[in-house]
A and B are shown apart, each in its own frame.
Chain A
Amino acid sequence: MTKEEAPVLLEVRGLAAKAGSAQILKGIDFTVRAGEVHAIMGPNGSGKSTLSKVLAGHPAYEVTAGTARFDGQDLLAMAAEDRARAGFFLSFQYPVEVPGVANAQFLRLAYNSIQGARGRDELDPLEFDDYVREKMKLLEMAPAFLDRSLNTGFSGGEKKRNEILQMALLEPRLAFLDETDSGLDIDALRVVANGVNTLRNDDNAVVLVTHYQRLLNYIVPDYVHVMDGGRLVKTGGKELAIELEARGYDWIQKSAA
């Protein structure tokens, strides 16, 4: 099966959104099929993170125009938790810290809500412990992570590993990874990238939101989109990322203007 024939997972058309009175997304079109890896690159403030949050259902943003269909459903009509239950995943740039809530407890609650929505059996704490420890090996995480408070006092790299661990547990159809490479040293970057690559298959898809090309050496994208001023202004193959790394964003901004 070639990728062009693979089923469409996400179809975004003319998506516009604002936060307060600021119009941040000004008409986004793109399509993600099963088995694909997309990268969305662009300068600071171009709207990359906003796009991820709007699609995941963050209440601070108001969609002013456009549509987004996910796996045949109207994504924008769904509550954030229902989007997650349907298989949409967002790896956060800044995961929130929750003191007093054990990581294991949070992971199990998340896992069981997704399992429940898929009509699968939930796991009790003991069963879950075995299951999550297996997944943690993939990300070279020490079991001590389970007992720590959720993201509290985690280093930047530990937070990102914990995000990808959640991706491994929840087995989403579509994962948006928002600046997962920021705050990672080179070893951690390799571990996290290997983790993501292991989780990829013909049925799911990954969208990498990043500033830098370096992550794309490890997770090779099929498509690279450049975002600027709330629009996707250019789309190409993986070589576009290399060109961006060499020439910066200026030339695209000029040619788009």
Chain B
Amino acid sequence: MSTALKSLIDQPYRHGFVTDIESDSVAKGLSEDVIRLISRKKNEPDWLLEFRLKAYRHWLEMTEPTWPNVKYPKIDFQDIIYFSAPKPKKKLASMDEVDPELRRTFDKLGVPLHEQAALAGVAVDVIFDSVSVTTTYKKKLADVGVIFCSFSEAVREHPDLVRKYLGSVVPHGDNYYAALNSAVFTDGSFCYIPKGVKCPMELSTYFRINTQESGQFERTLIVAEEGASVSYLEGCTAPQFDTNQLHAAVVELVALDNANIKYSTVQNWYAGDENGRGGIYNFVTKRGLCKGVNSKISWTQVETGSAITWKYPSCVLLGDNSVGEFYSVALTNHMQQADTGTKMVHIGRNTRSTIISKGISAGGSNNSYRGLVKIGAKADGARNFSQCDSMLIGDRCAANTFPYIQVQNDSAKVEHEATTSKIGEDQLFYFASRGIDAEEAVSMIINGFVKDVFTQLPMEFAVEAGRLLGLKLEGSVG
């Protein structure tokens, strides 16, 4: 590998600073007492505490999954802080009263907390460690009946809705990390789009882990009633520590008849240093239920961070004619490991799904696509198209594809295409011989490679994601 390639991937992480802010943390460790304490701190109703305890007892019986193609030392779940919140100076009456230190933090991250300065037309819920700091544009959204608030607030203000849908897509015992999340989740975002409403702006949650020893366990729940539609964005960063932090989130989406949910993520958790020290363990369960007829759920993810990524945003296509989509770019560099993909479970008739996955591996990283397409016995006329492309940069990285296809209905059509390419000497030489240097060449080749996915992102996000890929790959080619 030439030095030009090498120097292209090695760009420092720009969000690695720590905010010095007093926080209210629960002592390390996990037990029923800790769960009761968290629940009490949040003044939760009994049914929610029961939900947590049921999940916790289930979790105790479970074992950590070993099937992902990733390696890491055993996690000591007693060595994690399960609740950490910036100490409020006083009760907030408006955004202007947000702790200035917090406000500076988010300004630095490019997430302004005042509405005037906020991204035009994007409402933001900001999560700092375990709690939501603020939500913008709440009033404007309420005018059309859209509820967008922190999960804690939703539990207080809209308990019936939360109770109806919480755990309805990802049950409390779904998998090891989902069970853990169900037991200890502290905050997250809640969105509810009423019947027939097209949400007038993009909704967005920005997650920030700040405390070194805390885990982040947030819970997002989005419900789109009949004929409703919403586009939701998620962004995340964390300081640079040489220890690992656990991020085990659960996201549940519910789309009723003719509803449409578009969920986009740009994930830039700290990835660890070039020797693989530190970084976030991103073990996340995301699932959408197309419950109604003609409903549609679309996942778009750009995964660039985390030491380890383990996530499979999925669609359960229950309603007839419902549509699931998954567009993914997963970039790994240095010692990062990713085992990511999707599950499309076709249950209803004439259900359709599309999977476009683009994996980019650089440095000494390991990048796996794992995807399941399952066509149930009653899913007459179901169709799936999957395309899984891998690109290797340099010769120390690895790319793997693990497609699983289960078909129980003769009328189904399932297509799978896969390619592997490499940015190597010959491609770079071709560009060089036209006067184009390695950095520009790699950026052009990568942008071409991810184009099919990036065109699915909302505009502001696409620009940000493009810049992020460029930064991540700077110095990787040579």
Contact = CB atoms under 8 A, between A and B. Distances in A.
Interface of A: 53, 56-60, 79-81, 83-85, 89-90, 92, 95-96, 98-102, 105-106, 109-110, 113-114, 117, 149-150, 166, 170
B429 A98 contact: no
B2 interface: yes
Contact of A117 (B425, B431, B435, B449): B435
Contacts of B435: 81, 84-85, 110, 113-114, 117, 170
Nearest to A110: B434
9 contacts: A53-B429, A56-B433, A80-B433, A96-B427, A100-B448, A109-B440, A110-B431, A113-B434, A114-B434
B437 interface: yes
Contacts of A85: 435
B27 interface: no
A99 B449 contact: yes
B434 A100 contact: no
B426 A166 contact: no
A80 B433 CA distance: 6
Leading 10 A-B pairs by shortest Cβ distance? A100-B448, A101-B448, A110-B434, A80-B432, A113-B435, A84-B435, A81-B432, A96-B430, A114-B435, A85-B435
A84 B432 contact: yes
B92 interface: no
B426 A96 contact: yes
Interface in B13-64: none
A100 B432 contact: no
Interface string B444-478: 11011111100000000000000000000000000
Given A84-B434, A102-B448, 14 more contacts: A56-B429, A79-B432, A80-B429, A81-B432, A84-B432, A84-B433, A95-B430, A96-B427, A96-B430, A98-B427, A98-B448, A100-B450, A100-B451, A149-B448
B78 interface: no
Nearest to A82: B435
B66 to A, nearest CB: 35
A97 to B, nearest CB: 9
B454 to A, nearest CB: 10
Interface in B366-400: none
B75 interface: no
A121 to B, nearest CB: 16
B68 to A, nearest CB: 29
Contact of A59 (B425, B431, B444): B425
B436 A109 contact: yes
Nearest to B426: A96
Contacts of A58: 425, 429
B430 A60 contact: no
A170 B433 CA distance: 11
Central interface residue in B425, B434, B440, B448, by most chain A CB within 10 Å: B434
A110 B452 CA distance: 23
Contacts of A90: 433
Contact of B432 (A57, A95, A106): A57
Central interface residue in B431, B435, B444, by most chain A CB within 10 Å: B435
A49 B6 CA distance: 28
A109 B444 contact: yes
B408 interface: no
B444 A105 contact: yes
Contacts of A79: 432, 437
Given A99-B449, A100-B447, A100-B448, A81 B427 contact: no
B449 A100 contact: yes
Central interface residue in B429, B445, B451, B452, by most chain A CB within 10 Å: B429
A162 to B, nearest CB: 12
Contacts of B419: 99
Nearest to B440: A109
Nearest to A102: B448
B168 interface: no
A83 B435 CA distance: 8
B11 interface: no
Contact of A81 (B2, B437, B445, B449): B437
B421 interface: yes
Interface string B398-430: 000000000000000000000101000111011
A81 B445 CA distance: 17
A149 B429 CA distance: 18
Given A81-B437, A113-B436, A59 B2 contact: yes
A101 B450 CA distance: 10
Contacts of B433: 56-57, 80-81, 83-84, 89-90, 92
Contacts of B450: 100
A59 B445 CA distance: 19
Contacts of B437: 79, 81, 113
B403 to A, nearest CB: 20
B449 A59 contact: no
A113 B438 CA distance: 13
Nearest to B451: A100
A204 to B, nearest CB: 16
B1 to A, nearest CB: 10
A106 B429 contact: no
A90 B431 CA distance: 11
A170 B449 CA distance: 26
Contacts of B447: 100-101
Contacts of A110: 431, 434-436
Nearest to A84: B435
B445 to A, nearest CB: 6
A56 B449 CA distance: 27
Contacts of A95: 430
A57 to B, nearest CB: 7
A109 B449 CA distance: 17
A99 B436 contact: no
A101 B436 contact: no
